[in-house]
Amino acid sequence: MAGVLAERGFTVRPVLIFDLCSGRYAAQILGRDDFRFISAFMPCRVSIYQTSDGKTFISRMNARAFAPMMPRELAEVLVQSSNEIEAVIARVVR
């Protein structure tokens, strides 16, 4: 993001955004008209950023907290996807 914003004249600290979407989960969400509304909140993005005091953070949508507000089948996909993303993060952060 910092590079894209720099091209537009803005200076920000680096932010890395990773798209960890599983085709299996994305297809379950995007393949149904009644679930497509969630496309703006796909739970597969993970960002890593550093604050001005040098602390590094990992940020992502809390799909498990969001899931109870969704239809049951969609909630299940959100929770499954969230669990897999948590496992990926756990393997990387040690």
pLDDT digits (tens, 9 = 90+) for 24-40: 888 999 999 999 998 88
Q: Which residues, listed in sequence order, are joined to residue 50 by a DSSP beta bridge?
A: 56
Q: Kindly give the interhelix angle for 23-30 and 72-92, rounded to the nearest 10 degrees.
A: 160
Question: What is the reported pLDDT for 31?
Answer: 93
- Report whether pLDDT(16) > 80: yes
Q: Which helix (H) or strand (E) is 62 found in, with range? A: none
How confident is the prediction for the chain on average, in pLDDT? Answer: 89
Residue 9: its H or E element: none
Return the structure tokens found at 3.
Answer: 């590079």
Provide the pLDDT for residue 93. Answer: 86
In the Cβ-directed half-sphere of 55, how many Cα atoms lie within 13 Å? Answer: 5
Residues 60-89: tens digit of each pLDDT: 989 899 899 999 999 999 999 999 999 988
Around 40, how many Cα atoms within 13 Å sit in the side-chain half-sphere?
A: 1
94 touches 82 (CB < 8 A) = no
Please state, for a pLDDT cut of 90, what percent of the chain lies above it. 47
